[in-house]
Amino acid sequence: NAGVTQTPKFQVLKTGQSMTLQCAQDMNHNSMYWYRQDPGMGLRLIYYSASEGTTDKGEVPNGYNVSRLNKREFSLRLESAAPSQTSVYFCASSDDMGDYEQYFGPGTRLTVT
């Protein structure tokens, strides 16, 4: 039981490049989330998926797209990376949207130069 896994762990991009961050969970959770965390700050919600087949914008969705590929997997895509997107990205999951406990992956540290 690996919980929530994310790939890659580290990534460096040049401005304008694109990439997809992968996330998978093996807890049979319905809801999944993508957050970003900037230095010394809390987490901000980018997108979430309440259940398979649905996605919705969070607090800071601009510049990102997501895909809920199946119940296990939720990917985050940066179409044209910008230095402002340099951050640590965390994927999380919970049993349902109303669940107060979220399980987080180890994070992806992204630098855009």
**Minimum distance of another protein from residue 97's CB (angstroms):** 5
N- to C-terminal Cα separation, the chain = 36
> Of residues 24, 25, 48, 93, which one binds another protein by CB under 8 A?
48
* Residue 71 interacts with another protein (CB under 8 A): yes or no: no
> Of residues 8, 18, 59, 80, which one binds another protein by CB under 8 A?
59
* Residue 39 interacts with another protein (CB under 8 A): yes or no: no
- And the tokens for 28? 């049979």
What angle (nearest 5°) sits at the alpha carbon of residue 111, between those of residues 61 and 11? 100
* Residue 47 interacts with another protein (CB under 8 A): yes or no: no
Q: Helices (DSSP H) in 1-113: which residue ranges?
A: none
